[in-house]
Chains A and B, each alone.
Chain A
């Protein structure tokens, strides 16, 4: 099996690029950094890659709003190329701030599959402050074909603006009913929850991650990139030290899908 090439986007304020790079490499991809300055000046560079990853951080300081300035830059200078990349079968991942960027760019959830237009937003946690804590996620049946439903993974969340706001309840229903939600926060019984602290931001229906109409774009607030090694997990001294952490699943499934289509 060939090693799909993963573009790990760098930009001022992106700060999770090293762990995202490493997690993709361990999952079997060939990671490569690309600075956004270079991507927007030569968007055709995208053609060399099978995966585009927007790591977490505080792109441009989250000035104006979280992920807004980077999303605006990508849309202005590389929007068409990113859509072309998707049409050619490319996969996109956005983690935390990267998810916020994809939402503001209009790549998620892109329900009609049409042009880039922001449909939902990620805004202040109901607790109204930034918080770093471990949460439990479950994958649900979605358009994202490479993520099997029913998997449970423990990962850290670390954000202040992870509340998914829709224009109205009807749109929120559309996300849950038509397979746009991929991950939900679950409580101790494994049920999707809006309750703090299991759901750190209060997102409706417990939505922690989204995909798009094509199922090729994935975004989530919590950080699988901080839970891919055994010693990352918080309870290994009680449960035993595993060879890898729960978050590895996201990278492995994605790389496998990219390799299958490559």
Chain B
């Protein structure tokens, strides 16, 4: 369709930051540019408008009168002036919220509401070849799965109508297929079903005397996907001569059931884990992974991951109010040389920047603070970056339970359904490879946080008015999973012709499995339907009844008069054959390196601080709004210049109350290369240490597990996972921390020709503690000269997997392990001492050991220290200063203690190894001695620079010096 083009660009004399950053991005992508790049915001408006209307509307609503000018091109007219330029246009069907807002502005100005699309354009003053510009734009400015790139010619036409849909039923003839045929059918259809599963489906339909319809087969594939059913972890595993019937039940859930902690309200049942908060509310928490979409399209993948986990919390019980988000990422190092980048992978820096922008541009507009996180770098994440997204919410205690009833209407609320995100659930169960980017683009989506915010506001109001009996989010599998799940034990009839669509042309099965974002499904009693629709209209939210829950035990899906699926819900939910996998564990053959004594401890300390895994993540974190909702009682960066790292986020989520939540996490996949059991233990210990260091209560802490692994169809991979799970179980039992929720992502391998890149097995542990008063929480920055430094815990010869050895190019073997009894005593003792107000600041020791932890406390407080290594409590044979400074032994804390509180501290730490190891000094110097021997004397500003510079991508945080 022909269209008017309106292009807005900064006036002469005003800055063009969009042009400046586009130039920088194009140059990073290898395009040689000397001159300026000019940016344009473009709009295509339907040709039905006349010129006067377009002109007046553009000046009134599209162009800023102070710093912008506008150019208007009539339909069919060529470019305003010949120039080398690149335009970036959303592909047809990609969410374009700007276009909707322009249409709203047209309506507000009482003009005809015509079709609209938005785009961006950049004009370069250099005479670069068109192909080079397109290639560089594709690498840096556009996201090819959602954008088209147009060089020189301005984009001319609006996306046309979607065409006529294919409304046929499409039976899938599989009764006659042999096993190989079934496998081929699954593979070619992107169904990710195994031979056994296909055989079970075949047998079921043979019993019915018919073939499944395409919609039915798609429904089974979505519902039975690894993503939805966790087949590996709940299936049968042969581990050596042991048979594990259900790994999840015998490890994670076993801990929770054995401990039976009174604060657990709803675990492993709902979208999120629910624990008690105060007399009126519970707090619920969920952490998801969104790895696959983020590998293909980091911005959209991460953004929709955030959106999805927010809906998980919103869909918990009868609807929880999201109050905070967490994000943890694993990437390859951002300075990876191009030569080491496998074909088909985005560069890790591009992934990092895209993921961060995606989290920022979803979380911030949602008005949910992003308060906690971590980033870990390791080259084996090059093909499979990990993106963990978490959310916590408040849920009234009388709204914890939900149950749809026969007769309740099925109401879709929120975004419209489009062709986006088809096969997301099954895609996540396949291996990525060089061609994935082009093959899987349908699984990638762009989020629209404002729509989700409106849905959230409407759902929470409807909850308070009691307008629905159950709800769930539309996530993986779309309506098929959401309705299928809510109808379990009931039955449902669905009319797909009622579902509001983004554009025409969707086949019924596509409507049914589309994972279009920002949708919730509610079960609404018929007598409340009118009020619900009215309330949604008040909130500017689309809501449509698309069916009714029944008591037939059958799921009947129609489009118009035609039945596209009629399924037995029992078979859908319980018909999945038991999954069986083999697992083996062989300890890798490793040895500790034999190294000469360290001759440059100051240099080693600076190198450890500058390691990407230790260095400040401030450039990332400042892009997230961590203050919205006014519930922050402990910031991500602390201290006099607010640039010291916090161990955990501290929230007071109810305005006016000081009752709080302390939120921490632990993860270190590097240890997995030596022993996955150590990795698992250390993740749990670190999460608990973080929470305790910030003033949390280890006796009132719930935890979550998120597994990301290589291909667990391989017995070696699964053996690692089993070993890690056993270790996690044992330590969680000792720590009395119940798991309340978890998730897994089990096929993180990348095939690059003959080479397979496997991620190291990785468990993220998230810990949440409820505290009665945030006034009793604390931060890691040193507070006052003269205070004593107390090291709690024993330093052992555990440099295996450490940052110190990594900097020297070694992995080693002596990985840290956790002593459960000693670890528990340490956590409890430190928590007691903090509650007794004996401690001014606390920090846990993790990557980089004592040296990194103490430096971070100094940076926060801008104070110096004198540390005496001779005083450090230690294991047998530990003497070398580098071992004492950089060993990553677990269950250790550094505490800052006023001299007159020392006796009190010692009383609370009775039975826990600890010692005064140093003193805080006003002089900004970092001094380390071993008895009488001086080892390190560094000015504080060198530590600040070493720690802050590596990930300060724009140089803004360290540009002015320390």
Residues of A that sit less than 8 Å from B by CB: 10, 12-13, 15-16, 18-19, 22-23, 26, 35, 37-38, 56-58, 60-65, 68-69, 72-73, 76-77, 104, 118-121, 123-124, 126-134, 156, 158, 165-167, 196-197, 223, 225-226, 228-229, 231-232, 234-235, 237-238, 241
Are the CB atoms of A63 and B628 closer together than 8 Å? no
Counting CB contacts under 8 A, is B61 at the interface? yes
Q: Would you give 20 A-B contacts (Cβ < 8 Å), ordered by A?
A: A12-B450, A12-B454, A12-B540, A15-B453, A22-B656, A37-B538, A37-B540, A58-B449, A63-B101, A104-B64, A124-B17, A126-B15, A127-B956, A130-B623, A226-B628, A231-B633, A231-B774, A232-B630, A237-B778, A238-B640
Residues of B that sit less than 8 Å from A by CB: 14-15, 17-18, 20-21, 41, 60-62, 64-67, 97-98, 100-102, 104-105, 108-110, 360, 364-367, 448-450, 453-454, 457, 538-540, 622-630, 632-633, 635, 638, 640, 642, 652, 655-656, 658, 774-775, 778-779, 783, 841, 954, 956-957
Min CB distance, B64 to chain A, in Å?
Answer: 5
Instruction: Enumerate the 9 nearest inter-chain pairs by beta-carbon distance, A residue then B residue, closest first.
Output: A15-B367, A63-B101, A19-B630, A58-B365, A121-B66, A128-B17, A61-B450, A124-B17, A63-B98
Chain A residue at minimal CB-CB distance from B14: A165
Question: How far is A126 from B16 in the complex, measured between Cα atoms in Å?
Answer: 10
Min CB distance, A101 to chain B, in Å?
Answer: 14
Knowing A60-B450, A128-B21, the reply to whether A238 touches B658 (Cβ < 8 A) is no
Q: Collect the chain A residues with CB atoms within 8 Å of residue B774's CB.
A: 231
Are the CB atoms of A156 and B627 closer together than 8 Å? yes
Q: Collect the chain A residues with CB atoms within 8 Å of residue B66's CB.
A: 118-121, 165-167
Question: How far is A231 from B660 in the complex, measured between Cα atoms in Å?
Answer: 11
Other-chain residue from B41, B109, B450, B624 in contact with A76 (beta carbon distance below 8 A): B109
Are the CB atoms of A241 and B775 closer together than 8 Å? yes
Are the CB atoms of A131 and B623 closer together than 8 Å? yes
Question: How far is A40 from B110 in the complex, measured between Cα atoms in Å?
Answer: 14
Are the CB atoms of A18 and B629 closer together than 8 Å? yes
Other-chain residue from A63, A132, A234 in contact with B625 (beta carbon distance below 8 A): A132
Beyond the given pairs A15-B366, A15-B367, A232-B632, 16 more chain A to chain B contacts, judged by CB atoms under 8 angstroms and listed by A's residue number, are A12-B540, A15-B453, A19-B629, A23-B630, A38-B538, A57-B365, A58-B450, A60-B450, A64-B62, A76-B109, A77-B108, A104-B64, A129-B623, A133-B622, A166-B66, A225-B630
Are the CB atoms of A131 and B17 closer together than 8 Å? no
Q: Collect the chain B residues with CB atoms within 8 Å of residue A131's CB.
A: 622-623
Q: Collect the chain A residues with CB atoms within 8 Å of residue B775's CB.
A: 231, 241
Are the CB atoms of A121 and B64 closer together than 8 Å? yes
Q: Collect the chain A residues with CB atoms within 8 Å of residue B652's CB.
A: 229, 231
Are the CB atoms of B64 and A234 closer together than 8 Å? no
Knowing A19-B655, A58-B450, A234-B642, the reply to whether A64 touches B15 (Cβ < 8 A) is no
Question: How far is A119 from B642 in the complex, measured between Cα atoms in Å?
Answer: 36
Are the CB atoms of B64 and A61 closer together than 8 Å? no
Knowing A35-B538, A129-B623, the reply to whether A16 touches B105 (Cβ < 8 A) is no
Other-chain residue from A64, A124, A167 in contact with B61 (beta carbon distance below 8 A): A64
Question: How far is A156 from B622 in the complex, measured between Cα atoms in Å?
Answer: 11
Question: How far is A23 from B360 in the complex, measured between Cα atoms in Å?
Answer: 26
Q: Collect the chain A residues with CB atoms within 8 Å of residue B658's CB.
A: 231
Instruction: Indicate the member of A26, A127, A237 with the most B CB atoms within 10 Å.
Output: A237
Min CB distance, B6 to chain A, in Å?
Answer: 11
Min CB distance, A155 to chain B, in Å?
Answer: 9
Q: Collect the chain B residues with CB atoms within 8 Å of residue A57's CB.
A: 365, 367
Knowing A58-B364, A127-B956, A196-B956, the reply to whether A229 touches B61 (Cβ < 8 A) is no
Chain B residue at minimal CB-CB distance from A63: B101
Question: How far is A61 from B361 in the complex, measured between Cα atoms in Å?
Answer: 10
Are the CB atoms of B360 and A130 closer together than 8 Å? yes
Q: Collect the chain A residues with CB atoms within 8 Å of residue B841's CB.
A: 237
Question: How far is A58 from B360 in the complex, measured between Cα atoms in Å?
Answer: 12
Q: Collect the chain B residues with CB atoms within 8 Å of residue A238's CB.
A: 640, 783
Are the CB atoms of B105 and A72 closer together than 8 Å? yes
Knowing A126-B15, A226-B627, the reply to whether A165 touches B67 (Cβ < 8 A) is yes
Min CB distance, A199 to chain B, in Å?
Answer: 13
Are the CB atoms of A132 and B622 closer together than 8 Å? yes
Q: Collect the chain B residues with CB atoms within 8 Å of residue A128's CB.
A: 17, 20-21
Q: Collect the chain B residues with CB atoms within 8 Å of residue A72's CB.
A: 60-61, 105, 108-109
Min CB distance, B68 to chain A, in Å?
Answer: 8
Min CB distance, A114 to chain B, in Å?
Answer: 15
Q: Collect the chain A residues with CB atoms within 8 Å of residue B41's CB.
A: 64
Are the CB atoms of B101 and A69 closer together than 8 Å? yes
Instruction: Indicate the member of B17, B21, B448 with the most A CB atoms within 10 Å.
Output: B17
Q: Collect the chain B residues with CB atoms within 8 Å of residue A63's CB.
A: 97-98, 100-102
Min CB distance, A39 to chain B, in Å?
Answer: 12
Question: How far is A100 from B6 in the complex, measured between Cα atoms in Å?
Answer: 23
Chain A residue at minimal CB-CB distance from B783: A238
Q: Collect the chain A residues with CB atoms within 8 Å of residue B642's CB.
A: 133-134, 234
Question: How far is A130 from B775 in the complex, measured between Cα atoms in Å?
Answer: 30
Q: Collect the chain B residues with CB atoms within 8 Å of residue A65's CB.
A: 64
Instruction: Indicate the member of A18, A56, A238 with the most B CB atoms within 10 Å.
Output: A238
Min CB distance, A227 to chain B, in Å?
Answer: 8
Q: Collect the chain A residues with CB atoms within 8 Å of residue B783's CB.
A: 237-238
Min CB distance, B107 to chain A, in Å?
Answer: 9
Chain A residue at minimal CB-CB distance from B41: A64
Q: Collect the chain B residues with CB atoms within 8 Å of residue A165's CB.
A: 14, 66-67
Instruction: Indicate the member of B15, B66, B539, B633 with the most A CB atoms within 10 Å.
Output: B66
Are the CB atoms of A64 and B655 closer together than 8 Å? no
Are the CB atoms of B627 and A158 closer together than 8 Å? yes
Q: Collect the chain A residues with CB atoms within 8 Å of residue B538's CB.
A: 35, 37-38
Knowing A72-B108, A166-B66, the reply to whether A15 touches B628 (Cβ < 8 A) is yes
Knowing A58-B365, A69-B105, A127-B954, the reply to whether A64 touches B98 (Cβ < 8 A) is yes
Knowing A13-B365, A16-B367, the reply to whether A124 touches B15 (Cβ < 8 A) is yes
Are the CB atoms of B638 and A234 closer together than 8 Å? yes
Question: How far is A65 from B58 in the complex, measured between Cα atoms in Å?
Answer: 13
Question: How far is A57 from B627 in the complex, measured between Cα atoms in Å?
Answer: 12
Question: How far is A131 from B623 in the complex, measured between Cα atoms in Å?
Answer: 5
Question: How far is A133 from B453 in the complex, measured between Cα atoms in Å?
Answer: 24
Chain B residue at minimal CB-CB distance from A74: B108
Question: How far is A23 from B17 in the complex, measured between Cα atoms in Å?
Answer: 35
Q: Collect the chain B residues with CB atoms within 8 Å of residue A69's CB.
A: 61, 101, 104-105, 108
Are the CB atoms of A237 and B61 closer together than 8 Å? no
Min CB distance, B446 to chain A, in Å?
Answer: 12
Other-chain residue from B108, B365, B954 in contact with A61 (beta carbon distance below 8 A): B365
Question: How far is A69 from B106 in the complex, measured between Cα atoms in Å?
Answer: 10
Are the CB atoms of A223 and B655 closer together than 8 Å? no
Min CB distance, B60 to chain A, in Å?
Answer: 7
Question: How far is A146 from B408 in the complex, measured between Cα atoms in Å?
Answer: 55
Question: How far is A229 from B654 in the complex, measured between Cα atoms in Å?
Answer: 12
Q: Collect the chain A residues with CB atoms within 8 Å of residue B360's CB.
A: 130
Q: Collect the chain A residues with CB atoms within 8 Å of residue B67's CB.
A: 121, 123, 165
Are the CB atoms of A16 and B628 closer together than 8 Å? yes
Question: How far is A64 from B109 in the complex, measured between Cα atoms in Å?
Answer: 15
Question: How far is A228 from B20 in the complex, measured between Cα atoms in Å?
Answer: 37
Question: How far is A109 from B728 in the complex, measured between Cα atoms in Å?
Answer: 60
Question: How far is A228 from B100 in the complex, measured between Cα atoms in Å?
Answer: 36
Q: Collect the chain B residues with CB atoms within 8 Å of residue A126's CB.
A: 15, 17
Q: Collect the chain B residues with CB atoms within 8 Å of residue A121's CB.
A: 64-67
Question: How far is A238 from B630 in the complex, measured between Cα atoms in Å?
Answer: 20
Q: Collect the chain A residues with CB atoms within 8 Å of residue B954's CB.
A: 127, 129
Min CB distance, A169 to chain B, in Å?
Answer: 11
Q: Collect the chain A residues with CB atoms within 8 Å of residue B625's CB.
A: 130, 132, 158
Q: Collect the chain B residues with CB atoms within 8 Å of residue A37's CB.
A: 538, 540
Q: Collect the chain A residues with CB atoms within 8 Å of residue B454's CB.
A: 12
Min CB distance, A132 to chain B, in Å?
Answer: 5
Question: How far is A22 from B654 in the complex, measured between Cα atoms in Å?
Answer: 11
Q: Collect the chain B residues with CB atoms within 8 Å of residue A19's CB.
A: 629-630, 655
Question: How far is A120 from B66 in the complex, measured between Cα atoms in Å?
Answer: 6
Min CB distance, A18 to chain B, in Å?
Answer: 7
Are the CB atoms of A229 and B364 closer together than 8 Å? no
